[in-house]
C-alpha cells in the first residue's frame, strides 16, 4: 500500500510539473452582458463582437443581438445590432460578419452594423458555430441534426453529416477542425475525417494557437490546451462557480483568450502563458 501511495504522489507531482500552459485573468466585465454565447476578436477594427442571446438559448424571440466590446473590456455597446433571436457563432470575411441564428445565417455589414440579409437553411434546427476560410467559404454547424453546412456565394449546401453533438468549427487553410461531442476532429479538403483527441467534456469553442495546437472549451466550465499530437492540459475550471465557458475569441498576437460566460452574463479576458 505504501508503494502504491508513493507512486500515486509521484505521478501527481509529475503531472503538475508537466503542465506547460496556464491562463492568467486580465479583466472581467460586470454582469451586464446579456447571455453572451460567443466572442469574436476583430484585430483590424480593434473590437470584440459579442453574440447576445438575451433570453432562452434556442428561442426565436427577437431579443438577441450583437454587442461591441473594447479589447480592454472598458467600453461596451450592447445595442450595435438588435432584432436577432439566439445568435451564437460568428465569422468575418471582408466587410461581412456572419452570425448563426437558429435556422438562419445572418449577414451584417461591419461598417454600418446593418443587417444585409438573412440566409435560411432548409431543414436546419440548431445552427451553432461559424467559421470562414481565406477564400470566403463559410461553414456552419447544426448541433441537433449533426450536420455541417458549406456556404458559397450565399448558397448553403450540406457538407458533412452524422457528427453527433457537432458544435465548434475552425477553418485553417484547406482543413476544417470540428468539435463533435467530446471528440476533436479534422476534416481535410476531400472530407476525410481523422480524430485529433478525445476530451473529458463536450466541445464548444476551438481556437488555433498558430503552432498546430488549439484551445478547446466546454460549455459547462472547462478550458483545455490541446497539442497537435492529441495530448491535452486543463487550463481552467469554472463550473463550480457556475460560470460557463462558451465559444471563445482569441487574439494570437497578444495571446489573449476572451471567454463568454453565458448565464454568468460577463466576458472574461485571460492571458495565455
Q: How confident is the model at residue 11 (pLDDT cuts 50, 70, 90)?
A: very low
Each residue's pLDDT tens digit, 209-254: 999 999 999 999 999 999 999 999 999 999 999 999 999 999 999 9
For the segment 99-118, the average pLDDT, to the nearest whole number, is 98
Q: How confident is the model at residue 18 (pLDDT cuts 50, 70, 90)?
A: low
Q: How confident is the model at residue 186 (pLDDT cuts 50, 70, 90)?
A: very high
C-alpha cell, 266: 460577463
- What residue ranges define each of the domains in the chain, with the CATH number in brackets? 22-272 (2.120.10.30)
Each residue's pLDDT tens digit, 133-160: 999 999 999 999 999 999 999 999 999 9
- ∠ CA 190-196-197, nearest 5°, is 150
For the segment 201-210, the average pLDDT, to the nearest whole number, is 97
User: Are 171 and 178 a contacting pair, CB within 8 Å?
Assistant: no
For the segment 36-44, the average pLDDT, to the nearest whole number, is 97
User: Are 180 and 204 a contacting pair, CB within 8 Å?
Assistant: no
In the chain, the percentage of residues whose pLDDT exceeds 70 is 93
Other CB atoms within 10 Å distance of the CB of residue 242: 12
Mean pLDDT over all residues of the chain?
94
Burial of 40 (0-12, 13-18, 19+ CB in 10 A): buried
41 pLDDT above the threshold of 70: yes
Helices and strands counted in the chain (H then E): 1, 24
User: Are 208 and 177 a contacting pair, CB within 8 Å?
Assistant: yes
C-alpha cell, 240: 463550480
31 pLDDT above the threshold of 90: yes
User: Are 61 and 78 a contacting pair, CB within 8 Å?
Assistant: no
Amino acid at each position: 500500500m505504501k508503494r502504491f501511495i508513493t507512486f500515486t504522489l509521484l505521478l501527481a507531482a509529475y503531472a503538475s510539473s508537466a503542465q506547460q500552459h496556464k491562463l492568467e485573468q486580465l479583466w472581467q466585465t460586470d454582469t451586464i452582458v446579456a447571455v453572451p454565447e460567443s466572442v469574436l476578436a476583430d484585430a483590424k477594427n480593434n473590437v470584440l463582437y459579442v453574440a447576445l442571446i438575451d433570453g432562452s438559448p434556442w428561442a426565436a424571440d427577437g431579443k438577441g443581438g450583437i454587442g461591441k466590446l473594447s479589447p480592454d473590456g472598458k467600453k461596451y455597446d450592447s445595442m450595435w445590432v438588435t432584432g436577432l433571436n439566439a445568435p451564437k457563432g460568428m465569422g468575418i470575411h471582408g466587410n461581412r460578419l456572419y452570425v448563426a441564428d437558429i435556422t438562419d445565417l445572418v449577414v451584417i455589414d461591419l461598417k454600418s452594423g446593418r443587417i444585409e440579409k438573412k440566409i435560411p437553411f432548409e431543414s436546419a434546427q440548431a445552427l451553432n458555430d461559424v467559421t470562414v476560410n481565406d477564400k470566403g467559404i463559410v461553414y456552419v454547424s447544426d448541433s441537433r441534426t449533426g450536420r455541417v453546412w458549406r456556404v458559397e456565394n450565399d448558397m448553403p449546401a450540406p457538407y458533412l453529416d452524422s457528427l453527433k453533438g457537432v458544435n465548434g468549427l475552425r477553418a485553417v487553410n484547406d482543413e476544417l477542425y470540428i468539435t463533435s461531442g467530446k471528440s476533436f476532429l479534422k476534416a481535410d479538403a476531400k472530407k476525410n475525417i481523422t480524430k485529433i483527441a478525445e476530451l473529458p467534456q463536450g466541445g464548444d469553442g476551438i481556437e488555433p494557437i498558430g503552432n498546430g495546437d488549439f484551445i478547446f472549451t466546454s460549455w459547462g466550465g472547462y478550458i483545455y490546451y490541446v497539442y497537435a499530437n492529441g495530448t491535452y492540459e486543463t487550463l481552467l475550471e469554472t463550473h463550480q462557480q457556475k460560470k460557463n465557458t462558451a465559444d471563445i475569441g482569441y487574439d494570437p498576437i497578444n495571446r489573449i483568450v476572451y471567454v463568454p460566460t453565458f448565464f454568468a452574463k460577463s466576458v472574461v479576458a485571460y492571458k495565455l502563458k
